[in-house]
Amino acid sequence: MLVALFVNVICVGAALRPDILPSTSPPLDIDTELAKIADTCLSETDYEELCGNIVRYITAIGLSHVLVHESIASIALSELRALLGFSPLHPWQVYNRTKPSETELKNAPTPEAYYELREPRNQRRSLNSTHLFEKNVDAGIKYLDEHFPAIRTIFRQIFEEKLVGKGVLDKKLIDHMINVYFEALNRVDKATSDMLWYKLKCDGF
């Protein structure tokens, strides 16, 4: 019976997985946390640390917008992969602009193989990037995890809420979670962008 169930799951391109249970930690008030991030003033040393202390403040502030955006995208994708039970985010690769064909998507043998075809990618997080090295984004992630741990928790909480009660991981659920990823990324990106833009109250910070 169990063997037959396993074969049936593989044939339909879905995977049984342990159910995602609600977190036992008190949930964050996401809107409040995002408002705190947006209202934050960064110092000169913050900008330098964000960039891994390899450039000075003036250069770091110019790089910060693209660096933070790609760093939070990487954090979000890491959390999504973890909750879906997939392997960690891969090292950067050469960017391929070619979209997977409908045939490739239809014939993906496992949910993870299907996700690999559908995972959001861009040139700025690739070996073709004209803006960043992977080590720059690693430094950005380290800074954000140390100074704004709520960012990772926000992504995890949003993804968990959408996965609770979903016992079967199939292509439809993966597509749904990728849409959730973009919605969550936009919310966090808005807060971090507001944080990085000049605020009069930050003069002399």
Q: For the chain, give the mean pLDDT.
A: 89
Which pairs with CB-CB distance under 8 Å and at least 24 residues apart come from 177-182?
A: 177/80, 177/84, 178/118, 178/119, 178/120, 181/76, 181/77, 181/80, 181/120, 182/120
Contact 86, 115 (CB under 8 A): yes
Residue 205's pLDDT is: 60
pLDDT, tens only, 12-52: 345 545 455 556 678 899 999 999 999 999 999 999 999 99
Share of the chain above pLDDT 90, in %: 80
Q: Helix or strand or coil: residue 15?
A: strand
pLDDT band at 202 (very low <50, low <70, confident <90, very high): confident
pLDDT, tens only, 132-162: 999 999 999 999 999 999 999 999 999 999 9
Residue 146's pLDDT is: 98
Q: How far apart are CA 30 and CA 157, in angstroms?
A: 9
Residue 5's pLDDT is: 34
Is the confidence at residue 190, as pLDDT, over 90? yes
Which of 100, 102, 177, 92 has its CA nearest to residue 127?
A: 92
Is the confidence at residue 11, as pLDDT, over 80? no
Strand pairing category for 15-16 and 168-169: antiparallel
Residue 167's pLDDT is: 72
pLDDT band at 191 (very low <50, low <70, confident <90, very high): very high
Q: Helix or strand or coil: residue 70?
A: helix
pTM over 0.85: yes
Spans of all domains in the chain: 42-198
Share of the chain above pLDDT 70, in %: 87
